[in-house]
Amino acid sequence: MTEVMHDSRNVLKTALITVPAIVIVGSLMGYLSNSGFDNGWYSPLTKPGFQPPAWMFGVVWTILYSLLGLALAIVLQEPQSRQRRDALWLFGGQLAINFAWSPLFFGMHMIDVALIVVVVMLVMALTAARYFRRIRKVAGWLMLPYLLWLCLATALNYETGRLNPGADAAPLGITGEKS
């Protein structure tokens, strides 16, 4: 019982660092790339019919980044191992790609490139979640809402490109015509 309480305290201490760090960096990347419905390039684009309302994105991303920070804190408290190391590399890699998506999509208007990035992110996040789940089940399950949201983000990214031919600054022919 004492060991469980000690473990919980260590996770909470670590989470006090990982959760705000991920939320702040994610929010900063969105802010710096002018992501969202107020973006002058994005605002006039035709949106997919299944797109959630604008207010939902900030709320959802804050929750998702918090869950990712908690999952990370849990895994960081586990003993060092090759599996833990690989899980942390995958997690960090997909998170770095996550932080690059908003500047690519909203900042540089690269819809097709952003689509490739979100698919790679989804695959890496899924793999990281599987590793996390093997290390501590709860850490893997904490990533499930993020994985579901990434599926939605992938569909939104694709549909935005398809519905707005000519809006992509660097079309690759994935969602529309290639330049």
Tens digit of pLDDT for each residue in 56-96?
Answer: 999 999 999 999 999 999 999 999 999 999 999 999 999 99
**Taking CA 71 as the corner, what is the angle to CA 1 and CA 20, rounded to the nearest 5 degrees?**
110
d(CA 105, CA 129): 25
**CA distance between the termini of the chain:** 63
Nearest CA to 42 out of 179, 176, 160 is that of: 160
The domain 2-163 having CATH identifier 1.20.1260.100: the answer here is yes
Show the DSSP H helices in the chain as ranges. 2-32, 54-76, 82-102, 111-135, 137-142, 144-163
pLDDT of res. 132: 98
pLDDT of res. 4: 44
pLDDT of res. 1: 43
pLDDT of res. 179: 59
3-state secondary structure of 178: strand
- pLDDT under 50 in the chain at which residues? 1-6
d(CA 20, CA 117): 24
Note the maximum CA span of the chain. Answer: 63
Positive or negative CA dihedral for 124, 125, 128, 133? negative
pLDDT of res. 176: 78
